[in-house]
Amino acid sequence: MTAVLTLPGKRSPMTSRRKPGRLVIWVSWVIVGLVVIAVAFAELLAPADPNAQDLGALLLPVSAEHLLGTDDLGRDIFSRMLFGTRVSVIAAAQAVAIAVTVGLPLGVAAGWLGGWFDLVTVRVVDAVMSFPAIVLAIGITATLGPNITTAMTAVGVVLAPVIIRLARAQTMSIRSETYIEAARSFGAKGLRRMILPHVLPNIIQPVLVQVAVLMGFALIAEASLSFLALGVQPPTASWGAVLSRAYLFIDQAPLQVFVPGLAIAATVFAFNVLSDEIQRLLDPKRR
């Protein structure tokens, strides 16, 4: 969980990487659907209070009463995984939302204005991206204090350069298009008459594709920070927190390590597969 992660870059639409099969895509949709159900209906699906301790039922194996067993404090793992799904996914969405909120305006402004503003923005982005992403997030979180809001704000700041670079490149490409020159010839300028109607609609497709990729990265970042006790704080459950607790008792209850690990891996895999599907669905050349 503490391996150094690098920021995901923009993937070219012309990539030669083999496209996932339809079965893989459907499986990915099912995984995301199950995650959404867990986020929305955790209270209804959970058989027990995720924080309720039962010191007479420590590290129990899988059973009809405890579908995934219990942890070292007698808490129901299945319930904690359900509520942990909500915490992890919402935290990842928070980080991505911060990245887009910060990165999209700066990227568009840098690509549209050029000059000294573009130069300064590029230099700052290069400086941030020169650090390993998770290490930088750990440093920010440790400085500001360990909690899930601070942790995901730090992750959002770390992810923002990815959106900045993507939005800047797309804006610079659109700026030289014929319809932009035509709009200028009719006196159109500024945010309301140029950026909003002409630039943003034409860069939103690659941004949405990148958002799906960043969701997977943010999930891993949240799990990593919570595993290191820099994210959610006890007794709150998240996938990283459940994994961290289970790791201490891997000899007695190894299944408890695999469950959150597989949940993280499957969800990240699904988001990465669906990023390609989103690109295909939003492709203007697709019939």
- Render pLDDT for 129-143 as a digit per residue (tens, 0 to 9): 888 888 888 888 888
Least confident of 93-102, 104-113, 167-176, 203-212: 167-176
Residue 2 pLDDT exceeds 90: no
The pLDDT value given to residue 9: 53
Residue 239 pLDDT exceeds 80: yes
Using one digit for the tens of pLDDT, what is the confidence trace for 19-42? 667 889 999 999 999 999 999 999
**Over pLDDT 90: what percentage of the chain?**
41
In this prediction, residues 164-185 reach a mean pLDDT of 77
Residue 7 pLDDT exceeds 70: no
Most confident region among 44-58, 92-106, 176-190 by mean pLDDT: 92-106
Quote the pTM value.
0.84
Using one digit for the tens of pLDDT, what is the confidence trace for 73-86? 889 999 999 999 99
- Spatial distance between the Cα atoms of 38 and 35, rounded to a whole number of angstroms: 5
Residue 229 pLDDT exceeds 50: yes
The matching CATH number, chosen from 3.40.640.10, 3.40.50.2030, 1.10.10.10, 1.10.3720.10, for 92-269 is: 1.10.3720.10
Which of helix, strand or coil describes residue 52?
A: coil
Least confident of 53-67, 146-160, 164-178, 249-263: 164-178
Q: Which amino acid makes up residue 103? A: G
**Average confidence score pLDDT of the chain:** 84
- Ranges of each domain in the chain: 92-269
**Residue 104 banded pLDDT, cuts 50, 70, 90:** very high
Number of Cβ atoms within 10 Å of the Cβ of 151: 30
In this prediction, residues 217-246 reach a mean pLDDT of 90
Residue 17 pLDDT exceeds 70: no
The pLDDT value given to residue 12: 43
Instruction: Cite the beta strand spans of the chain per DSSP E.
Output: none
- Spatial distance between the Cα atoms of 168 and 108, rounded to a whole number of angstroms: 5
Question: Please, which contacts does 278-285 make with residues 24 or more away whose CB atoms are closer than 8 Å?
Answer: 278/208, 278/209, 278/212, 279/13, 279/205, 279/206, 279/209, 280/19, 282/205, 282/208, 282/209, 283/13, 283/205, 284/205
Residue 16 pLDDT exceeds 70: no
